[in-house]
Chain A
Amino acid sequence: MKYEATIGLETHIMQKTNTKMFCACKYEYGAEPNTHVCPVCLGYPGALPVMNEKAIELCCKAGLLLGCEINPYSKWDRKNYFYPDMAKNYQITQADQPLCLGGQVAVEVDGEMKTFTLERIHQEENAAKNTHVAGASLVDYNRAGTALMEIVSNPCMHSAADALAYLTALKQIMEYGGISDCNPEKGQIRSDVNVSVRPVGQEKLGSKVEIKNMNSFAFIQQAIEYEIDRQIEVLESGGKVVQETRGFDSDRGETFSQRTKENAHDYRYFPEPDLMPVKISAEQIGQWRSELPELPVQRRERYVKELGLPEYDAGVLTADMATSDWFERVMVHTRNAKAVSNFIMGEMMRLLSEHGLSIAESKVTPEKLAEIIALIDAKTISTGAGKQVFEIIFNEGGDPKQIVEEKGMAQVSDDSALEGWADEAIASNPKPVEEYKAGNAASINFLMGQVMKASRGKANPGAVMQMLKQKLDG
């Protein structure tokens, strides 16, 4: 029998807000434990939540970037459960009236364009971080109460590749939108994955298994692949897939049972009486829409249409926001997009990967690259010399013009110098001269090489060619 997998993702993304969701504490990754806390995020008696407006803006902007409908009226609910990662023992979240409804992510999977639809995005507060040491559990409340939004996809994916493409696109959009840095190592993007399997042709979905709280995209992919195989195996051997929550053991590459449906929590959701409902006007939505940044897809299109870059170049440049932003900064100073693209895709990427650096750390600034390109365009230096200048600056820093001067890299276009070298080349190489005159046009290249050699590479090749032709044709 053939089987089909159905996959849905609940992705938690930590938003880039200055303060936590319901209090004025800052969030700083890696800070000394329990240093960014207050009565509100520690759940002290009498403390009350106050909504972070910036988080609402970022959540709605994320919604707009994903084509969601923004709910003009949404509200807060308490989700009750006892665990030391939640100071109040309830989480403030949105149950039945989330901020954003619908939406989709369009992405290419194995050469095929696919659209994955969303159910909703809601805003909530993050949990604290628990660490288990020998004989004790430690709780760090620095992360407790930070702004967290949950993007819930529909069960519309069918393979690990689908899920990976969806997550990659989602991450890219969130980064471009300034919503989140989406650093998986910092827990800024985490997903719960729902997987079910059914025989092809069966209408009813199979029993759903939820794999909780995974950061790494690679682990998500492994977990999905493992889970699909496991469920098919269960069905093949005549068994029934148990609806349950499973964890993923990354060392063994396997999922394991955590909690079955019978033991599922009753979260006893009810409206949060300490917070007013969120009302968002059409004007506000319009304002936010007008502030939305350009997404990778749109940038890519613009690079091709307006800057005349090849599709390939546009794809490479926009794959990562830092690179694309860097490219844009060079383009402020030059119009030669292709030259910039060549330098980034060539010298820059090679040197960055050799030295294990990020583009932000490069000693070649956008201004300096623009200057190098200007020197090449003005024929002051050759392209080859430009690459050398680039590498020198990358390694040692410095000013392009000064380097060209100090290293004597400027091209010679001066007629009298060129004429001397050209005459000498013609005089001492009668054979190629004869051949050229007899109609072998390629023979001029040999003479050209002689001139370049004599000038130690500094002669302007265009000017040399012109000079030689003038002398031989004339």
Chain B
Amino acid sequence: MADLHKLTIAELSEKLAVGECTSVEIVNDVLAAIDATDGKVGAYLTIDRSSALEQARAADAARAAGKKNPMLGIPVAIKDLLNVKGQSCTCASKILEGYVAPYDATVIAKLRAAGAVLLGRVNMDEFAMGSSTENSALGQTRNPWNLGHVPGGSSGGSAASVASDEAIASLGSDTGGSIRQPAAFCGCVGVKPTYGRVSRYGLTAFASSLDQIGPITKTVKDSAILLEAICGHDKLDSSSIEMDVPAFGKNLTGETSLVGMKLGLPKEYFVEGMDPEVEKAVRDAVAHCKSLGAEIVEVSLPNSKYAIAVYYIIATAEASANLARFDGIRYGLRVDGKDPIELYGKTRAAGFGSEVKRRIILGTYVLSSGYYDAYYLKAQKVRTLIRDDFTAAFKQCDAILAPVTPTAAYKLGEKTDDPLKMYLDDILTTPVNLAGNCALSLPCGFSSGGLPIGLQIIGDAFAEETILKVGHAYEQTTEWHTRKPEIS
């Protein structure tokens, strides 16, 4: 075993290009790693070994025939809410039992076109509702850095697979922090792209106005490469923006200077209840950026404190309609009843987990006649204020530095009995989804307990290049991202 699974997209891409390894060898190493550790980590829900090897062989053949692409032959783990033709797409829910996707999500079609290998499907919170992957109805995923702790969520399987070298890279989705938070908990890099940057076609919707698909990888450079592969206008998604895709990957050239860069530090983002170790790691990272030449300015995002309230109104409202289609009529689980209404009730009662039910009920309530103005409409107004805060802040700086979460990964089961407590952990990530701009999470330290701590770099709308540049400079001059967990 050549330990190819421990390498990055950029490293493997170079090796593949010069013939130092083949895609089949990479896939074999990754499958061996999965065999060795996934029994403990539990990142994967399904792996199609023969298909993965077949895709790898096809990638090697394409390379021999002259095809070039940084993603060619690279195995990627896919969050189980993206439709991949011919595969199940469970969303970690019992209600999608037996559903086989009849089509490819746009990002999957793009990965196929680039020649990436679709390795398998990774675990998540049911319908992406949760922050610890404990809401999966199909299995438990553990944090590779400490198996007694959560990997974060909802893209917990994505982050855990990458952190444990069971995948070279992974696709996740971020509605309120679901890429950035698990990336931070597992010591990975994750990007929540600007709303409209990546097509949502084929992403099982949680909250349509907030959802974005993004990469979870081992380095900033890898995130840039994978992001570039999945970006671009898609006429199948009306919210997708018609805009050229920058050469995100190529543009990161090892530059470590941040001279001329103004970085904002929001005074409201070191919240009450924040773990002092997290605060210290982030403040150290800010100082480090300053040492690289960046100018640090204080900015204010005063309305972010309402983000949790606003988020849990808008997201649940949209979810209540988005999840209405899971009714047992056309696909998935069906529990029969004497009429359609009883069939719906029984099917949904049996198929959805308690967190999903809680959010559907909440969303239904806030849209109800007589409550709409007080909740949904008010939330939309505050959402505008939150967005305005960011617009004002980005007049003063190029990017914003902040923590990703108030604490490092907590213990399994620690917050499952208190949903509100878990919701509050999203305080630092949800404002970005509500505003629609982009953000990146990367490792900036470790707690005394040995768990990773994440730094959040928030950019303006369509300023992915800026946050990738800052992250890349930071990463080039620190060693956090090179550490590997010992899985035991």
Chain A residues in the interface with B (C-beta under 8 A)? 39, 42-51, 78, 80, 82-84, 87-90, 137, 139, 266, 268-270, 273-276
Min CB distance A73 to B, Å, is 16
Task: Choose one: B89, B327, B376; the contact of A270 (CB below 8 Å).
Answer: B376
Nearest A residue (CB) for B331: A44
Q: Given A43-B330, A266-B369, A270-B317, check contact A82 B341 (CB 8 Å).
A: yes
Bound-complex Cα distance A276 to B239 (A): 7
Asked if B208 contacts A84 (CB within 8 A), the reply is no
Bound-complex Cα distance A314 to B314 (A): 59
Task: Choose one: B82, B205, B238; the contact of A276 (CB below 8 Å).
Answer: B238
The DSSP consensus for interface residues of chain A is loop
Q: Residue among A44, A50, A275 with the most chain B CB within 10 A?
A: A44
Per CB-CB distance, the 7 closest pairs between chain A and chain B, nearest first, are A89-B324, A273-B208, A273-B209, A268-B367, A45-B204, A43-B325, A46-B202
18 further A-B pairs in the complex, CB-CB below 8 A; given A39-B103, A82-B344: A44-B83, A44-B103, A45-B83, A45-B89, A45-B204, A46-B89, A46-B105, A46-B200, A49-B238, A82-B327, A83-B340, A84-B329, A88-B321, A139-B329, A270-B317, A270-B372, A274-B239, A276-B238
Nearest B residue (CB) for A51: B238
Bound-complex Cα distance A89 to B323 (A): 9
Is there a chain A Cβ closer than 8 Å to B255's Cβ? no
Nearest A residue (CB) for B329: A84
Number of B residues with CB within 8 Å of any CB on chain A: 45
Is there a chain A Cβ closer than 8 Å to B201's Cβ? yes
Q: Given A50-B238, A266-B368, check contact A44 B102 (CB 8 Å).
A: yes
Bound-complex Cα distance A269 to B327 (A): 20
A-B contact number at CB 8 A: 105
Asked if A89 contacts B331 (CB within 8 A), the reply is no
Task: Choose one: B96, B321, B329, B340; the contact of A90 (CB below 8 Å).
Answer: B321
Bound-complex Cα distance A51 to B239 (A): 12
Is there a chain A Cβ closer than 8 Å to B393's Cβ? no
Bound-complex Cα distance A415 to B364 (A): 95
Asked if A270 contacts B367 (CB within 8 A), the reply is yes
Bound-complex Cα distance A80 to B209 (A): 17
Min CB distance B76 to A, Å, is 18
Asked if A39 contacts B318 (CB within 8 A), the reply is no
The DSSP consensus for interface residues of chain B is loop
Task: Choose one: B89, B317, B330, B364; the contact of A42 (CB below 8 Å).
Answer: B330
Task: Choose one: B81, B91, B102, B208; the contact of A274 (CB below 8 Å).
Answer: B208
Is there a chain A Cβ closer than 8 Å to B237's Cβ? yes
Asked if A48 contacts B201 (CB within 8 A), the reply is yes
Nearest A residue (CB) for B370: A266
Instruction: Please list 17 pairs of residues, one from A and one from B, whose beta carbons are closer than 8 Å in the complex, sorted by A's number.
Output: A44-B101, A45-B326, A46-B200, A47-B201, A48-B200, A50-B238, A51-B238, A84-B329, A88-B321, A89-B325, A268-B367, A268-B369, A270-B318, A270-B321, A270-B372, A273-B209, A274-B205
* Residues on the A chain within 8 Å of B82, using CB: 46
Asked if A80 contacts B324 (CB within 8 A), the reply is yes
Nearest A residue (CB) for B326: A45
Nearest A residue (CB) for B96: A45
Is there a chain A Cβ closer than 8 Å to B99's Cβ? yes
* Residues on the A chain within 8 Å of B239, using CB: 273-274, 276
Bound-complex Cα distance A439 to B96 (A): 104
Bound-complex Cα distance A49 to B321 (A): 14
* Residues on the B chain within 8 Å of A80, using CB: 320-321, 324, 367
Is there a chain A Cβ closer than 8 Å to B203's Cβ? yes
* Residues on the B chain within 8 Å of A47, using CB: 103, 201-202
Nearest A residue (CB) for B90: A45
* Residues on the A chain within 8 Å of B101, using CB: 44-46
Min CB distance B352 to A, Å, is 14
Asked if A137 contacts B340 (CB within 8 A), the reply is yes
Is there a chain A Cβ closer than 8 Å to B245's Cβ? no
* Residues on the B chain within 8 Å of A46, using CB: 81-83, 89, 101, 105, 200-205
Asked if B91 contacts A39 (CB within 8 A), the reply is no
Q: Residue among A45, A137, A275 with the most chain B CB within 10 A?
A: A45
